[in-house]
């Protein structure tokens, strides 16, 4: 992992973090992926058809009841190797700083990533899914059913990103 994954680049701005935390999380499992370094990870999840494995802690086995009837899931996981104090970031390949809340970067006050995945199989507490782009051994925070009625917005636009492509 290179130095600048943890450092600040020119144009980036960090703030002082709050003195205290407000709530705490349990890691409920681990995500197994083929990617051992950030450079190996796909730039976004739609780039890869790799099947990844979500290993849920046996304690929560019964909480998976009915999950197998879902075609797609929302997965929340913990990007535990990212700094939390950046408010303005300079993603590689972009010349302008972007606010943390306008980015999906793992560097954010609460480094929880959200991915929509396609469920391809369940065996006990192991879920096979397509659509993740995280490092191997990433801590799992939550699994939810994906409801097209409330979670799917086909015409949503991220303006700064769309402008960048034209």
Site for its own copies in 116-135 (CB under 8 A): 116, 118, 131
Site for its own copies in 78-97 (CB under 8 A): 78, 80, 84, 86-88, 97
Alpha-carbon separation of residue 29 from 5, 61, 83, 112 (angstroms): 25, 11, 22, 14
Three-class DSSP category at 126: strand
- Checking phi first, is residue 11 left (phi over 0); if not, alpha (psi -120 to 50) or beta? left
> What residues between 53 and 82 interact with its own copies by CB under 8 A?
56, 59-72, 74, 76, 78, 80
Asked if residue 129 lies in contact with residue 51, where contact means CB atoms within 8 angstroms, the answer is yes
Q: Which is nearer to its own copies, 32 or 60 (by Cβ)?
A: 60
Q: At its nearest, how many Å lie between its own copies and the CB of residue 2?
A: 24
What is the Cα–Cα distance from 31 to 56, expressed in whole angstroms? 9
Q: Compute the least distance from the CB of residue 17 to its own copies, in Å.
A: 7
**Angle in degrees, CA 65, 68, 70, rounded to 5:** 115
Stretch that binds its own copies, among 3-11, 31-39, 52-60 (CB under 8 A): 52-60
Closer residue to its own copies, CB minimum distance, 4 or 151: 151
- Would you count residue 166 as binding its own copies (CB under 8 A)? no
Q: Which is nearer to its own copies, 38 or 144 (CB)?
A: 144
In 3D space, the residue among 20, 142, 10, 97 whose CA is nearest the CA of residue 105 turns out to be 97
In the complex with its own copies, which residue's Cβ is closer, 2 or 65? 65
Q: Does 142 bind its own copies (CB under 8 A)?
A: yes
Task: Enter the tokens of residue 120.
Answer: 């391809």
Q: Tell me: does residue 23 bind its own copies (CB under 8 A).
A: yes
**Backbone phi and psi for residue 135, each to the nearest 5 degrees, phi listed first:** -65, 150
Minimum distance of its own copies from residue 7's CB (angstroms): 18
């Amino acid at each position: 992992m290179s130095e600048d994954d943890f450092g600040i680049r020119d144009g980036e701005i960090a703030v002082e973090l709050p003195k205290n935390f407000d709530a705490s999380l349990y890691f409920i499992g681990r995500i197994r992926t083929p990617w051992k370094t950030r450079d190996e990870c796909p730039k976004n999840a739609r780039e890869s058809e790799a099947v990844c494995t979500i290993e849920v802690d046996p304690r929560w086995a019964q909480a998976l009841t009915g999950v197998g009837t879902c075609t797609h899931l929302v997965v929340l996981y913990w990007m535990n190797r990212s700094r939390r104090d950046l408010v303005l970031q300079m993603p590689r390949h972009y010349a302008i700083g972007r606010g943390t809340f306008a980015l999906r970067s793992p560097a954010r006050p609460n480094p929880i990533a959200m991915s929509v995945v396609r469920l391809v199989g369940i065996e006990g507490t192991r879920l096979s899914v397509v659509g993740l782009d995280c490092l191997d051994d990433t801590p799992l925070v939550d699994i939810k059913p994906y409801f097209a009625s409330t979670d799917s917005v086909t015409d949503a636009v991220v303006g700064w990103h769309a402008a960048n492509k034209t």
